Copies of this chain bind each other. A is one copy, B any other.
Amino acid sequence: MSERKKVILSEAEMPTHWYNINADLPAAGVELPPPLHPGTGQPIGPNDLAPLFPMSLILQEVSAERYIEIPQPVQEVYRMWRPTPLVRAHEWERALETPARIYYKYEGVSPSGSHKPNTAVAQAYYNKEEGVTRLATETGAGQWGSALSFACQVFGLECKVYMVRVSYEQKPYRKVMMQTWGAEVVPSPSPDTNAGRQILAESPDSTGSLGIAISEAVEDAATRDDTKYSLGSVLNHVLLHQTVIGQEVIAGLEAFAEDWPDVLIGCTGGGSNFAGFAFPFLKENISGGRSARIVAVEPAAAPSLTRGVYTYDFGDTAQMTPLIKMHTLGHDFVPAPIHAGGLRYHGMSAQVSALQASGLIEAVSVQQRAIFEAALSFASAEGILPAPEPAHAIWGAMQEALACRESGESKVIVFNMCGHGHFDLAAYEQHLADNLEDFDYPEEAIRASLQKVPSV
C-alpha cells in the first residue's frame, strides 16, 4: 500500500463548536478597537445593528467566549458535505521536485462550491430562529449569493440577491444556480430600491459595483420588517463560522501523523476563508504551545494588508456601515477588474487587520498572471481546477515549496483550497490565450484614495 492521499474525517469527528479568536486576542497583546457609529463616531451597541442582523449574530459579533456551540440543525446541514477532504499533494510535490510535504484543505465539495455555505447556513438558521422570513444580500461574481440561496432554501427562507450587473450579464450560470435554489436575483443597480433607482436615473447603463449592491441590500433589509441583511465576510460572526475549516485541518493532520505545520497559507479578500482556516492554529501560536508561520496572500489589485493603512474606515462605498479599524485602501477605492472577484475589497476584517498590525501574521501580494500559472501547475498535478481566489493561496504554497527545493528542507506546508473554478473557465481561457492583464497602482493613486479615509 502506498502513501495515504487524503483524510476525510467521519461525521462523528466534526467540530461541535466554532472558535472565537476574540477570546485569545488579549493574551496576545492584540487590541481590537470597537466599531464606531457612522454618524456619531461613538462605539456602537447591539441595538444599533438590530435592524440589519438577528440578535444572536450580533451577540456572536461581540462575544468573548472562546468556543460557541454549533446548533444541531446547523451541524446536520454541514454534514451534507462536511467534513471536507484534507489532501496530501503527492503529485504536485513531485511536479515541483520539492522535499516539502504539501497539504490542502478542499472546501470546493460544498453545494455551491466554496467555503461560503459554512456561514450562510449558520446565518440562515439564526435568522429563522428569530422569526425572520426573508434575507437580502449582495453578490459580485456569485459565490456568496449562491451559498446564501442554498442556505435559505434549506431553512425555508426567501432570499433576494442584488447581483452586480456586469456579473449578472457575464456570469449567467451563477444566477441560474441561485434561481434553482429558489432565490430572486436582480441585476444591481435595480429599480427595486431608492439607491438603485437613483443611480439608474443618473446612469441608466450603470454596470453596478459591490458598493452599490450592498447599499441596495441594506436598504431592502432596513425597510422591511420581515427581512434582515446577510454578509458573507469581514464580520466576526462570519469568521467564527468558518473556523470549522481550521479545526478539521488540525484533526486531519493528526490522522496523517503529522506533527504540526511549518507554514499555513490562505488567500484574503474580506478575510473569512483565511480566518476560518488559520485562527485555530493562531490560538496555538498565541498560547505558546505549538507554532506555525501564517501567511495571507492578497491580489496586487486589492492590496489592503500590504499597501493600505490600519485605521478607521467605512466598510462600504456609500458610508452607511459602522466605522471599523482595519487595513483599508480607502472606502471608495475600486479594485481593478481581476478575475478573483471574491478578493476585490478595499478593506479587511478587523481581526485579521489587528493580527497583521501586531506582527502575528504575514502578508504578501501577487499579480493575476502569476496566480493562474500556479493554478495550472496545481491542476495539472492534482486534477482539481481551482477558483482564482484560492489560486492566490496555491501561489503562496508554491513559493514556499520552491524555497524548500533550494534549501533542501522538508517543511510541512498547508493551504486552504477554498473553492473550485468550474464557473471561472472563461478566465482560464483568457490565461491560456495569454490575454490576462496584471494591474498595479502607483504610490500616488493609493495615497489619493487614502485621503478620503475619515479622521476619527
Q: Give the Cβ gap from A144 to chain B, nearest Cβ, in Å.
A: 16
Q: When the two chains form their complex, are residues B2 and A72 in contact, meaning their CB atoms are under 8 A apart?
A: yes
Taken together as a complex, chains A and B put the C-alpha atoms of A383 and B148 apart, in Å, by 12
Kindly list chain B residues whose C-beta atoms are within 8 Å of the C-beta of A224.
Answer: none
Contact of A382 among B80, B176, B376, B432 (CB under 8 A): B80
Q: What is the distance, in angstroms, from A78's C-beta to the closest C-beta of chain B?
A: 9
Q: A422-B423, A428-B176 are in contact. Are A379 and B181 (CB under 8 A)?
A: yes
- A79, closest chain B residue (CB): B5
Q: Would you call A439 an interface residue if the criterion is a C-beta within 8 Å of the partner chain's C-beta atoms?
A: no
Chain B residues closer than 8 Å to A426, beta-carbon distance = 172-173, 176
Binds B, one of A6-14, A234-242, A296-304, A357-365: A6-14
CB closest chain-B residue, reference A87: B80
Asked if A109 is an interface residue, CB under 8 A from chain B, the answer is: yes
Quote the shortest CB–CB distance from A414 to chain B (angstroms): 18
Complex Cα distance A186/B46, Å?
A: 60
A257 contacts the other chain (CB 8 A): no
Decide: A79 and B176 in contact? CB cutoff 8 A. no
Chain B residues with Cβ below 8 Å from A385 are 111, 177, 180
A150-B180 contact, Cβ under 8 Å, with A76-B2, A79-B5, A425-B173? no
Within A89-124, which residues are at the interface with B (CB < 8 Å)?
A: 91, 109, 111, 113
Identical subunits present: 2
Q: Within the complex, what minimum Cβ distance (angstroms) separates A14 from chain B?
A: 10
Known interface pairs A11-B4, A113-B422, A432-B179; A383-B150 also in contact (CB < 8 Å): yes
Residues of B within 8 A of A1 (CB): 12
CB pair B181 A425 closer than 8 Å:
no
Give the contacts of A179-218 with B (CB-CB under 8 A).
179-182
A111 touches B181 (CB 8 A): no
B5 x A177 contact (CB < 8 A): no
A126: Cβ under 8 A from any B Cβ = no
Q: Please name the 3 residue pairs, one residue from A and one from B, whose CB atoms are nearest each other, closest first.
A: A111-B383, A173-B425, A5-B79
A interface residues (Cβ-Cβ under 8 A, vs B): 1-2, 4-6, 8, 11-12, 72, 76, 79-81, 87, 91, 109, 111, 113, 150, 153-154, 172-173, 176-177, 179-182, 376, 379-380, 382-385, 422-423, 425-426, 428-429, 432
A-B contact pairs, 30 of them (CB 8 A): A2-B72, A5-B76, A5-B80, A6-B11, A6-B79, A6-B80, A8-B8, A80-B383, A81-B383, A91-B154, A111-B383, A111-B384, A111-B385, A113-B422, A150-B383, A154-B383, A172-B425, A172-B429, A173-B426, A176-B429, A176-B432, A177-B385, A177-B425, A179-B428, A179-B429, A180-B376, A180-B385, A180-B425, A182-B380, A422-B422
